[in-house]
């Protein structure tokens, strides 16, 4: 059964949430001309955001992290985006020497050995390439939603990251049903792994399918305690939602 059949559902306020997400992106592009990038994980939420950016021709670059550990189905979305939307996707890879040294010292399966080694792997394969993606930018866009986990329950539509950049989260108040309703309505390309009960897709060794009733992010780093389940990409800062933004958002936050 496809993810669209399973999850897409139009609920009250859906059109308002779509309009608000677009408003957040328009504001983001206007406030950070030439200095903003969507850091896409190529997951369902990020595909929605890329579609909004392309559909409304917003001047927001698209960048992704090729960790070297992604599923083939995930990597295939890069040319799919370029073909569908005519947009270039910036691809950031880890420093080759750092990966070789880490694997030589700790092995291919080091992420299962300790949280420290797992976080070191994420630092090499994700955080350092992300820092290159963001180094000339003052803002970025993510697909974070409050519903994704307890840790993300207070995600704001815009906030400062730990480096003082503005991070925009236009889907902060979207439900999983909203994401799939948008994908269905606009025929957005998506990762076929979502059809196999992978709600949250990261690197292949660190992602698994979930069972009915399991928590949304329980398929990520499932061998670790709940509190450790972030890779360090999303370090919270202060909310920067403006009053104008909040007034629009308030009805469904």
Give catalytic residue positions: 231
220: which DSSP letter?
B
Q: Which alpha helices (DSSP H) does 56-175 contain, by range? A: 72-75, 77-85, 96-106, 115-122, 128-134
Q: Any contact of residue 41 with ligand SF4 (CB under 6 A)?
A: no
Least separation in angstroms between CB 71 and ligand SF4 = 11
Q: Which residues contact 195 (CB under 8 A, 6 or more apart)?
A: 1, 2, 3
Contact flags string 171-210 toward ligand SF4, x per CB under 6 A: -------------------------------xx-xx----
CB-based contacts of 158-161 (< 8 A; 24+ apart in sequence):
158/24, 158/28, 158/239, 158/240, 158/241, 158/245, 159/236, 159/237, 159/238, 159/239, 159/240, 160/237, 160/238, 160/240, 161/234, 161/235, 161/237
* Closest distance of CB 89 from ligand SF4, Å: 19
When binding is defined by CB under 6 A, the residue of 18, 48, 133, 231 that contacts ligand SF4 is 231
Between 39 and 188, CB nearer to ligand SF4: 39
Contact flag: residue 130 with ligand SF4 (CB under 6 A): no
Q: Which is nearer to ligand SF4, 215 or 230 (CB)?
A: 230
253 vs 246: CA distance, rounded Å: 9
Q: Applying CB under 6 A, which part among 19-27, 49-57, 74-82, 120-128 lies near ligand SF4?
A: 120-128
| CB 241 to ligand SF4: min, Å | 30
Candidate list 118, 145, 146, 167; residue touching ligand SF4; CB under 6 A: 118
Q: Which residues of 106-116 are buried (b: 16+ CB within 10 A; e: fewer)?
A: eeeebbeeeee
Q: Does 39 bind ligand SF4 (CB under 6 A)?
A: no
Considering the rule CB under 6 A, would residue 229 count as an interface residue with ligand SF4?
Answer: no
**Residue 133 sits in the site that holds ligand SF4 (CB under 6 A):** no
Q: Sheet harboring 61-65: ordered strands across?
A: 89-92, 61-65, 36-40, 139-141, 166-168, 158-160
Q: Which is nearer to ligand SF4, 137 or 208 (CB)?
A: 208
The piece of 2-10, 48-56, 81-89, 115-123 that touches ligand SF4 (CB under 6 A) is 115-123
Query: Rounded distance, CA 158 to CA 140, Å?
Result: 10
- Residues of the shown chain interacting with ligand SF4 in the complex, contacts defined by CB under 6 A: 67, 69, 111, 118, 121-122, 125-126, 202-203, 205-206, 231
């Amino acid at each position: 059964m496809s993810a669209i059949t399973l999850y897409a559902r139009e609920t009250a306020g859906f059109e308002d949430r779509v309009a608000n997400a677009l408003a957040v992106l328009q504001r983001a592009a206007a406030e950070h001309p030439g200095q903003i990038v969507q850091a896409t994980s190529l997951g369902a939420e990020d595909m929605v955001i890329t579609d909004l950016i392309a559909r409304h021709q917003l001047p927001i670059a698209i960048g992704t992290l090729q960790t070297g550990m992604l599923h083939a189905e995930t990597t295939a979305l890069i040319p799919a985006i370029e073909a569908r939307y005519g947009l270039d996707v910036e691809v950031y890879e880890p420093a080759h020497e750092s990966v070789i040294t880490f694997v030589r010292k700790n092995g291919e399966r080091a992420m299962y050995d300790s949280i420290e080694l797992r976080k070191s792997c994420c630092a090499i394969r994700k955080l350092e390439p992300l820092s290159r993606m963001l180094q000339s930018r003052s803002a970025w866009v993510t697909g974070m939603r409050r519903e994704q986990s307890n840790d993300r329950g207070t995600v704001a539509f815009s906030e400062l990251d730990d480096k003082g950049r503005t991070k925009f989260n236009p889907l902060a108040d979207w439900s999983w049903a909203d994401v799939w309703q948008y994908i269905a309505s606009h025929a957005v390309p998506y990762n076929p792994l979502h059809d196999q009960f992978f709600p949250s897709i990261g690197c292949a060794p660190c992602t698994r399918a979930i069972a009915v009733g399991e928590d949304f992010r329980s398929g990520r780093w499932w061998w670790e305690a709940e509190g450790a389940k972030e890779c360090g990409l999303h370090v919270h800062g202060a909310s920067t939602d403006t009053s104008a933004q909040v007034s629009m958002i308030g009805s469904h936050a």
